[in-house]
Amino acid sequence: GVMKSVSGLQDLEERLARALHVNQAIIVSGNSDRYSWVKKEMGRACVQQMKEKLAPKDIVAVAGGTTLAAVAEMMSPDSNLEEVSFVPARGGLGEKVEIQSNTISSTMAQKAHGKYRLLHVPDQLSDETRESLILEPGIKELLSIIRQAKMVVHGVGEAETMAARRKTKAETLGSLKDKEAAAEAFGYYFDRAGQIVHKENTVGLQLDDLTNEQFVITVAGGASKAEAITAYMKHRPSDVLITDEGAAQAILDL
C-alpha cells in the first residue's frame, strides 16, 4: 500500500544521505532515464524545498539543464517567494536557449511572481575577454548579486554527456578523458574522487565562492547519473539532494 512504499523510500533516503554525506536526500519514485514525468516529480520536490527554505526578498542562483527546466516548470507562487530574485549561477555554458540558466531564472520568476536578472555573456570566453567583461558595471553588479545568493539550485551531469552536449573542442575532450572526468556541475568537471579536473571559462558563481552560508540544493536523477552524482558529492556534499529511485539504487550499488 501507499504507507509501505512511502516508508520504503524513507529508508532509501536515509541510506543515501549517509552514503553521500548530504544532510538530506529526497527520493521520488521511478527512474528519470526511462520516464520524463519522474523529472517533473523531482522538479515538484525541489519547488517544495525552495518554498520551505527561502524567505521573501532572498536571492537564489539557478543553474541550467533539463532537470532545472523541470523545476522551473513546476514553480508556483508562495508567500515565502515574495520578491525573491532568481539569477543565473554562471554565464554561457554552451546550452540551447530553452535550458540556459538565464531562461530558467526568468521562467521561475514569472511562475513564482518574483524577480529576475539576466547575465548576458557569450560562451567559451578567452581569459582576456573574461577579465574585461567582469569589469563592466552591469556585469559587475550582477556578479555581486549572484554572490549574495542565499540558495543555489543546480543539476549534475555525466562528464561525457555534458562535454558532447556542449560541443566541447577535441583538445578539451581528450584532456577530460585523460583525467577520467566523471561529473559536471556549474561548468566544472570532476573525477571520481571529486577533484576538479577542468573548468569552463565563463563568469558567475565560482565553486570557491560557495561557503557554508549558502543553502545548496542538487537536483539530479536517473540511474545513468549514479557515478556522476557520487563523484560530485565527494567534492562538496549538498544540503539537500533531490533524486529518483533509479539513481539512488544505482548509487548504493556502486
Number of other CB atoms surrounding residue 9 within 10 Å: 17
Task: Round to whole Å and give the CA distance between 86 and 102.
Answer: 9
Task: Round to whole Å and give the CA distance between 7 and 71.
Answer: 25
How many CA atoms, within 13 angstroms, populate the side-chain half-sphere of residue 133? 20
Residue 120 C-alpha cell reads as 548576458
For ligand F6P, how many residues bind (rule: CB under 6 A)? Answer: 15
139 in contact with ligand F6P (CB under 6 A): no
Q: Which of 64, 88, 114, 204 binds ligand F6P (CB under 6 A)?
A: 64
215 in contact with ligand F6P (CB under 6 A): no
Q: Which part of the chain contacts ligand F6P (CB under 6 A), choosing from 109-117, 133-141, 155-163, 235-243?
A: 155-163
Answer whether 70's CB lies under 8 Å from 104's CB.
no
Q: Which of 27, 59, 93, 250 binds ligand F6P (CB under 6 A)?
A: 93
% helix, strand, coil for the chain, step of 5: 50, 20, 35
The binding track of 14-43 with respect to ligand F6P, each residue x by CB under 6 A or -, is ------------------------------
216 in contact with ligand F6P (CB under 6 A): no
Min dist. Cβ of residue 57 to ligand F6P (A): 25
Task: Round to whole Å and give the CA distance between 140 and 142.
Answer: 5
80 in contact with ligand F6P (CB under 6 A): no
Task: Round to whole Å and give the CA distance between 202 and 121.
Answer: 8
List the end-to-end C-alpha distance of the chain, in Å, as a whole number: 29
Closer to ligand F6P by Cβ: residue 54 or 229: 229
Min dist. Cβ of residue 68 to ligand F6P (A): 6
Q: Which of 13, 58, 95, 244 binds ligand F6P (CB under 6 A)?
A: 95
Closer to ligand F6P by Cβ: residue 54 or 220: 220
Residue 3 C-alpha cell reads as 504507507
How many CA atoms, within 13 angstroms, populate the side-chain half-sphere of residue 167? 5
Site for ligand F6P in 109-138 (CB under 6 A): none
224 in contact with ligand F6P (CB under 6 A): no
Closer to ligand F6P by Cβ: residue 99 or 112: 99
Answer whether 117's CB lies under 8 Å from 85's CB.
yes
* DSSP code of residue 82: T
Answer whether 241's CB lies under 8 Å from 26's CB.
yes
Q: Which of 156, 197, 223, 226 binds ligand F6P (CB under 6 A)?
A: 156
Site for ligand F6P in 160-199 (CB under 6 A): 162, 184-186
Q: Give contact residues for ligand F6P (rule: CB under 6 A).
A: 63-67, 93, 95, 154-157, 162, 184-186
